[in-house]
Amino acid sequence: MISVTPPVVLSIGGSDCSGGSGIQADLKTYAAMGAHGASAVTAIMATSVRVSADILPLTAPVIAGQLTAVLDDLPVAAVKTGMFASADGIGEVLSRAKAGALPNLVVDPVLLNEGIRSRRQIAMALERLLPYAMVATPNREEASALLGWQVATPDDMAQAARELVSGGPQYVVVTGGDLVTGTEALDAVWAAGEERYMSAPRVMGRNQVGSGAVFSAAIAARLAHGDSVVEALAYAKGLVVRAIQDAAEWRIGTAPGPIDVCGWSSAVI
């Protein structure tokens, strides 16, 4: 029997009612990786293949209350941020980051197109949070919105990661899950003195919802376990590829759905 107390990871992000992405995907990832997940919900999202996105932002005091409740009591070892529906919510996180209360901060700068009215303000608030991040994981579209130019090619991804690192995060990974040239799923990793791509064979599975959420949550969980950033990135990349592969034949709902982060398809139950 294993009786070691699991490390605590705090996720700050939106609730995705489908369970595929957002806070739900984060908590599943932590459970699968032997970490205890705590959460501060920033918004409640009602969306499906049939219903266009309806987002209920939670107010800054409600977000603040959750952050205080968790941070005052639990020994948080790493923090991940995901979706915000208002710049005020990011302000609450920023004040805790400035106070040094958010160790091993992983920022997934989710910038949804649908249902968000203040996308520009959210991007600007995320820019203020990025200097406090240990790791930031924008996809190409999010990197484009943060930088104000179109991140299209692998060279662009590398340039975008370099520019974003100069804004503060220790590591930036520009993910290329939607880059459909070639047979590789390519991410550009940038840190001072370390510039490279991470690559894995692209999986052609039906289900890929939550790959960005799982990737960033897995980085936070491994940092909480004591990995270096380089070790955490390698682990997260392997996990997400395996999870997409293992969910390739799943049919949860009518649209493409979640990935197999818990390894159910390969487990003997």
Ligand X SMILES: Nc1ncnc2c1ncn2[C@@H]1O[C@H](COP(=O)(O)OP(=O)(O)O)[C@@H](O)[C@H]1O
Shortest distance (Å) from residue 93 CB to ligand X: 19
Q: List binders of ligand LCLJCK34 among 181-240 (CB under 6 A).
A: 209-213
Residue 135 touches which of ligand X, ligand LCLJCK34, none (CB < 5 to 8 A by kind)?
none
Q: Does 90 bind ligand LCLJCK34 (CB under 6 A)?
A: no
- Binding map of ligand X across residues 243-262, x = CB under 6 A, - = no contact: -x------------------
Q: Does 21 bind ligand LCLJCK34 (CB under 6 A)?
A: yes
**From the list 202, 222, 225, 242, which residue makes contact with ligand X (rule: CB under 6 A)?**
202
Tokens linked to 181: 């040239």
Stretch binding ligand X (CB under 6 A), from 43-51, 65-73, 157-165, 172-180? 172-180
- Binding map of ligand X across residues 120-139, x = CB under 6 A, - = no contact: -------------------x
Amino acid, res. 148:
G
Tokens linked to 45: 């999202």
Stretch binding ligand LCLJCK34 (CB under 6 A), from 9-17, 88-96, 120-128, 241-249? 9-17
Shortest distance (Å) from residue 138 CB to ligand LCLJCK34: 9
Q: Does 227 bind ligand X (CB under 6 A)?
A: no
- Region for residue 43 given its phi and psi (left: phi exceeds 0; alpha: psi -120 to 50; beta: otherwise): beta
Tokens linked to 229: 């950033």
Q: Does 215 bind ligand X (CB under 6 A)?
A: yes
Q: Is the dihedral of CA 207, 208, 209, 213 positive or negative?
A: positive
Please report the DSSP string for 164-184 in residue order: HHHTS-SEEEEE-TT--SSSE
To the nearest 10°, report the CA torsion of 10, 111, 210, 177. Answer: -120
Compute CA distances 40 → 14, 17, 22, 206, whole Å.
Answer: 9, 15, 11, 30
- Region for residue 169 given its phi and psi (left: phi exceeds 0; alpha: psi -120 to 50; beta: otherwise): beta
Q: Is the dihedral of CA 119, 121, 127, 129 positive or negative?
A: negative
Which residue's beta carbon is nearest to the bound ligand LCLJCK34? 212
Query: Is the CB of 53 or the CB of 152 nearer to ligand LCLJCK34?
Result: 53
Amino acid, res. 191:
A
**From the list 125, 203, 224, 247, which residue makes contact with ligand X (rule: CB under 6 A)?**
203
CB 102 within 8 A of CB 34: no
How many residues bind ligand X, per CB under 6 A?
18
CA distance 29 to 221: 8
**Helix or strand or coil: residue 59?**
coil
Q: Which residues bind ligand X (CB under 6 A)?
A: 139, 175-178, 185, 187, 200, 202-203, 208, 211-212, 215, 237, 240-241, 244
Q: Which residues bind ligand LCLJCK34 (CB under 6 A)?
A: 13-16, 21-22, 45, 82-83, 108, 110, 209-213
